[in-house]
Structures are given as C-alpha cells and as structure tokens.
Structure 1
C-alpha cells in the first residue's frame, strides 16, 4: 500500500493520485483506491480512474479495526489519497484523524507531495519539517515535487534531498502538465468524473509515465510485479444475509451521488438488494421497492430537470403515501422539501414530502464532523443510538409556517463537543437530515434498518 499525502490542501495530491491510478492500471497493476476523510468527490474520480470502488478511511467516523479491514480486503496496490495537509485532522492540537494518523495505523509508507515553485535547498528544509514534526513523519518514504520548472530544477531538488539524508524524489511534475479537473464549490465536480472518457484516462496515464517513477513507487508500496502481490484476508464481511431480501432504491445520477461505499456494502450484507435509479432520467421508480435512500449531491444544479420529471415526482410521492420508507441526506433532504430556491432567486417545486423550503446560499453554511444522538426511535436506529458523520452544504432549510407534521430526532454536536442546530426531520416513514452518517462499520445499524424495512 502507499499513501499520497500533501503538505497542504492544493498541493496537488488528488491530481497525482489520479495519474498514479491511471498509470498503474495501464501497466496491468490492479489499483484499489481509498480516500482519507469524509470526502465524496475525490472518491468518484479515483473510482473512475482505477475502475474499482473507492472507500473512505476516517478515524473520526469509524475506528482503527474498520479501516484495517477495508484495506486488507482490497486487491493489488492500495492507493490511499490523503486529506488536507499531512498532519491536519479534526483539531489543531492533535493529528487525530489526519493522513498521518491513518498512515501510522496502517503502517503504510507515504509519498509527500510538495509545491516546488521557486525553491531549491529550501525544498529540503520543508520536507525535513514534515519528516521530523511527529513520529508519523518516519513513514514518509518518497517525495513528489509539484510545479517543478525544468529538468535542471528537478536535479537541484534531488540533490538537496540527498544531501540532507531525506527520502528521495520519486516524481517531478511541471506546472500545468497534468490534465485539469472540473471544479465546484465543494471542490471537484461529480459530473466531471462521470463524463471522463478513455482518451482523458489515457492522458492521466501518460502524465504518470512521463513524470512519476512508477517502478520505484511500486517498490515503496511493497508491490512485486513478478509475484503480483495478493489480497490479504479481511474480516469485515461478517453478516449473513437473510434469504428474503428487501429492495432498497438508491438514487444515483448527476444530481444524487454522495454515498459512502462501506454504507452500501454493509446494507447489502444485511439483506438489502440495492436497486439504482435516476430521479433525473427515469420516469418512475423501479418496481416493488420497499424503501428509498436519497443521498447527497447537487439537486440545485438540476432543480429545473427534477421539477419537470413529474413521472418520478409522482412515483416517489405514491411510494411515501403507501407507507414506503425514505431515508435522505443533504441533497436528498432538499429534494424532499416543498421547493428549492437557487442563488439566482429562481424557485422550483420539489417532492413536497416534508414541510420545509430549501434555499441556496452564496457562502458556505456548514462544514465539519458531527456526532448524532438519536432522541427517538426511528427506522434507522433506536433512541440513544450514537453515530458520527459529516456535514457540508451551501444551503439552508426553513419550516413551512404553521405545519407541525414532523419532529426532530437528532441531537447534534461538532467534533469539539459544541451543540449544533442540525435537524433530524422525522415523520412516520421519512428520516431526513443534512448529516451524511457513516455506519459502514456498524453491522447492527444495517441489520436494524433492513428489519424495519421488512416490517413495513
């Protein structure tokens, strides 16, 4: 396995990970991608470039055993993209839940991505700081210089690292030499990942061949191309699925695509048959669904199309009227509202299944880890259940005046333990919130959810 870390957000680790995934795959090496932290967008690109599902490794939302099991079950090279700067976690006075923390837990070698613009020997000083700051610096085994200006510049950086007895340079990326990615206010654009074609993937692979020392990176990762390093046995799949499965509809298209793969896996193992559908393109739900999972995404970008797809709107409304359960997170919550108001003050009707209106903002409303305690029994969990997750959105919701057909079932705190006013909106058969909950390590939650679906 190998962790690709950065000195900071924007150092270029995402683009370099994508190039690595494409380059190694083109060499015939199986790549199993991972992303440190709660992000959804980078995993979409990593999934596309490696042709394998990407899993999140997050020591705030889950535990050490869970991430060890996830990595142990993968094939070929485990390519792990870090989050923010190497030592950046969920608090300033600790590296807890940082890339460094994950690298230590997995005992994984690390390649540090550094911006090299206008630096010579100072580049070595920068690398030395990361190598010596905490014990996790000892995991740093190689360095990639991003923004290297020339072959001469590359030689200077190599010499500076070698003279200071620091990890070697295993890649030098000239400025502007990597393919560009579509951006969005959450970071990248999920649409960019879905539309990437074979020629674009080859461009990433070519960049890896030209600017990265792929054989040396494989050596650092502990991968032997001659013996084709095999998967280690894992133990995460420890639920025996019941014979009778429930049909769980998963909204998946350009408007709704934020799901933790481990959540989906554990639901399948608990007895859910995942049935994917598109609220944008399908004119009705798949037949015989027992429940619906509406994940996050960008419903505001597709609000007009979602409103115009009346066949799907009526199909979901009928599902709810007949008692079918709906679990919704963030973008899915917005879709359940009466309407969405976009930043240009246009209003589009949505499903109208909860008495709230959603409004897009020009500035970020919320970003951070959260811990949720259930205040009441719901179909996702019983009273006093505690789960962790993440909240990140540029919208807000307001209740429709005079309507009390809902209760709040969440008590929410941030990573520092401060109370937040984040609702868990609950009706008889709908649970919706801005929180993206992570329960991929909690088989009891998946089993409970599936059982409640069966009872309806």
Structure 2
C-alpha cells in the first residue's frame, strides 16, 4: 500500500486563507525539490488554478459525493506512489456540508491543519483551535496555521493561547503582497494575476520563516481493487475545447477522461478570435466569465462564425454555464449593458449581484444513469426552450438546473463531473444523451 506524508488544510469558515497557506506550502516544498501533489475538496475551478501554479502539477478534485469514495481512494493512492508530499485543501469550514471536509479527512485518516484568520483576534484564537480539534474525535488533528497576523508579538500571543497539545505550525502576516485577489465566484484566475509567482514566492518565504520544518505525518492509502481499462467510447473523435479567460472552468479530470476514452482534445480561444478546428467532431464550451468579456466575444466574428458553422453542420456542442450564456441571443451585465451573443439558443441572460444558484447536483438521462456535478452562477436565463431534463439536488429530489437541447446542442448551468459516469460523458459528445 502506498504511503506519503499528507496534510489536510481546512479552516473554521471560508475566507480564512486556506488557499494562500496551501499554495505557500506547495511552493515551499517544491522549491525544496519535493514532488508535491495538491488536491482540492469539492467543486472548484479557481483555487486549483492557483494551487497548480504553486505546485507545478495538475490539481484534481476530491469529494465523497461528487467524485465518490472509491475514486477518491484511487486518486490518493496513485498520488502517494510518486509524491513526496500530498496537500489537500478543504472547502468552506471543516465541518460544513454533507459530506464535509472533516468526513473526507476522517475517511482517509489525513491529519488536519486548521487555518485561522487572526485579524482582530488574540486569545480567542486558542478557543477556536480547541473547538476545531475536539469537535469530532474521529478527525485526526495536527495543528493550526495563523493567517493575517499583525506582528511577531501577536503571533506569540496566539501560540500561547493554544492548549499544550495543539501545535502552531506557522503563520503569515497580513499584507497585500501575499493575499490573493478575488471577485464574484472566487479568486481571480491564475493567468489574470500578473505577479502571481512573486506572490507565491513571498508567501512561501514568509511561511518558511515561521513554520515547523518537518513534513507532516506519513499516511498509508489503501488501493481499491483493480478495474478494467475504460472502453474507447470516443475513439477517433476530435473534441475542440474553448479555453481562455472567458472559458476556463474545466476539470482536468474531465479532459483526462475524454482522452482515456480515445478522443483527441485540442483547444482554441474565442477571446483571441480563433476558429473551431474544421475537423472537430464535437465542441465543448465550458463555464467561465463570458460576461466580463462580452464586447470582445461579440466582436470576434471569425470565432463566432466557426461555432455557428459547427452547429449548422449538426456537430455536437456541449455547453456548461458560461458556455450556455455564449450561445444565447444576448447577455446583460449588472450595469444594464446588453451585448449580443451567438444566437444559437433563443433567450437572454441577465447578471445578478449575488449567487442565483449554488450547490451539488446530479442529472440522469434514463439510459446511461446518473452523472454528478454542481452549479454556481450569478446569472438568470430567460428562454422559450422547454427543458428536456432537470438535474436534482444532492440532498433532496428538488429540481435543479434545467438541461436544454436544440439540434446538436446540449446546454445547462450544471457543471458535470464526467468521470462519475464515463458512458454518459461519451453519449453527450456522440449527441446521444437525452
């Protein structure tokens, strides 16, 4: 059974600095010459971009519901065979959600380090750490990191507040030179932060000057029983994927699955006015921020014409969230400015100032079974199209996101985690789902 030092970085809530600490640890150990593998808990596209830059390797998702226990076990065992260190960033607070980060850490016996923002806090730091460490005895607790610390004296006060059996693993000061910038939906994309590597290096330097030097405990990961290779259900297909700052919400595991099923995957950029390859069998328009780049997308006639030609040739288009918006007649931003989009699906999207949907969902096409995934968006769509299906929510049978089908186009707000049902994913790109 493979074994590797491993640490689960969680927190009492969102916004405490989990990604900053995880990225700093990854960059530090990578600079020490170690092979660092980082995972992100739950559905997330933005944090993994930062963590991939910090660690130098692709960041995959772990989630007991969306990914599944067996697949999580296999991913961790595979990483442990080659890595010198495994880091897992949690989601929200340690005990938030069903299943929670705590459930994942307990399932695989990965020691937890809690990141606690110490801004405007002194001895209460110890009480918060005590509560996190003692709330569930089955969760292995390793220690705490303090974030947004005001001074060395402040750090000393925080450490002195801890029970004697809880370790201060390190701390970061509060500085704009380290903090990662954000906006609606989460952090800025890695490619949009011009000084990201400098920020990661500064964070790694700062953490290394205060952190305990040793690696976290070694964890042994059980391997699931051997599974037969995936059938080559997409053999011979060429799938074009839109990928740029407007279309960036792509699970690496989804692309890996397409390739494992036999597809050739290439990328093009609508923002750069690049066309869909004429020999592409299918097109994937992922989520992202088309609303932030709407004028550019509307002006890029070559890319738009190629997507329309692809649809006119009755070739498959799979669109998720931002990809759905790109296919509509128009999108209106929060300032009331309306911009025309491709007009391949009738309807209009309007951006809102807060989340309109958030959470785990799953979808069933009756023939191929269930695919898990999630939704998170700030827009609302009005369309005369009748949904061919609705997703359902993870914790209830309440209707979730609508799935629309028109001609060769399948579009929905839901982001599918395709490895949860490879046959379903293959059917989507063959145009046989729903």
TM value normalised by structure 1: 0.86
Contact between 1:5 and 1:113, CA under 8 Å: does it hold in 2?
yes
Q: Distance in 2 between matches of 1:88 and 1:55?
A: 21
Q: Distance in 1 between matches of 2:93 and 2:361?
A: 21
Contact between 1:178 and 1:207, CA under 8 Å: does it hold in 2?
no
2:230 corresponding residue in structure 1: 239
Q: Distance in 2 between matches of 1:9 and 1:179?
A: 18
**Equivalent of residue 83 in structure 1, options 55, 79, 91:** 91
CA distance 1:22–1:54, shift in 2 (3 Å): same
Within a 5 Å distance, the mapping from 1:388-427 to structure 2 comes to 388-400=372-384, 406-420=385-399, 422-427=401-406
Q: Does 1:151 align with 2:152?
A: yes
Deviation at 1:203?
A: 2.3
Report SS of the residue matched to 1:391: strand
Q: Does 1:59 align with 2:64?
A: yes
Q: Distance in 1 between matches of 2:420 and 2:372?
A: 11
Q: Does 1:344 align with 2:346?
A: no
Q: Does 1:129 align with 2:108?
A: no
**Equivalent of residue 354 in structure 2, options 359, 363, 369:** 363
CA distance 1:354–1:237, shift in 2 (3 Å): farther
**Equivalent of residue 416 in structure 2, options 412, 423, 437:** 437
Q: Distance in 1 between matches of 2:271 and 2:40?
A: 28
Q: Distance in 2 between matches of 1:339 and 1:192?
A: 27
CA distance 1:420–1:447, shift in 2 (3 Å): closer
Q: Distance in 1 between matches of 2:30 and 2:370?
A: 40
Q: Distance in 2 between matches of 1:47 and 1:240?
A: 29
**5+ residue gaps in structure 2?**
1-5
Q: Distance in 2 between matches of 1:175 and 1:303?
A: 35
CA distance 1:341–1:154, shift in 2 (3 Å): closer
Contact between 2:285 and 2:319, CA under 8 Å: does it hold in 1?
yes
Report SS of the residue matched to 2:245: coil
More moved, 407-416 vs 232-241: 232-241
Report SS of the residue matched to 1:83: coil
2:282 corresponding residue in structure 1: 291
More moved, 305-314 vs 365-374: 365-374
2:18 corresponding residue in structure 1: 13
Contact between 2:281 and 2:315, CA under 8 Å: does it hold in 1?
yes
Within a 5 Å distance, the mapping from 1:256-271 to structure 2 comes to 256-271=247-262
CA distance 1:193–1:4, shift in 2 (3 Å): farther
Within a 5 Å distance, the mapping from 1:268-287 to structure 2 comes to 268-287=259-278
Contact between 1:371 and 1:415, CA under 8 Å: does it hold in 2?
yes
Contact between 2:234 and 2:258, CA under 8 Å: does it hold in 1?
no
CA RMSD of aligned residues (A): 2.7
Q: Deviations over 1:193-224 (max 9, x none)?
A: 564554344223322322333x32x2x1439x
**5+ residue gaps in structure 1?**
90-95, 224-228, 375-381, 401-405
1:160 corresponding residue in structure 2: 161
Q: Deviations over 1:293-323 (max 9, x none)?
A: 1110000000000000000101010011001
Deviation at 1:115?
A: 2.5
Q: Deviations over 1:339-388 (max 9, x none)?
A: 111122222111111111111122321112223233xxxxxxx5473222
Within a 5 Å distance, the mapping from 1:210-249 to structure 2 comes to 210-213=209-212, 215-216=213-214, 218=215, 220-222=216-218, 238-241=229-232, 244-249=235-240
Report SS of the residue matched to 2:10: strand
Contact between 1:5 and 1:13, CA under 8 Å: does it hold in 2?
yes
Report SS of the residue matched to 1:84: coil
Q: Deviations over 1:30-89 (max 9, x none)?
A: 111111111111111111111211111112213111111112222422211111110001
Q: Does 1:35 align with 2:43?
A: no
CA distance 1:385–1:230, shift in 2 (3 Å): closer
Contact between 1:70 and 1:234, CA under 8 Å: does it hold in 2?
no
TM value normalised by structure 2: 0.90
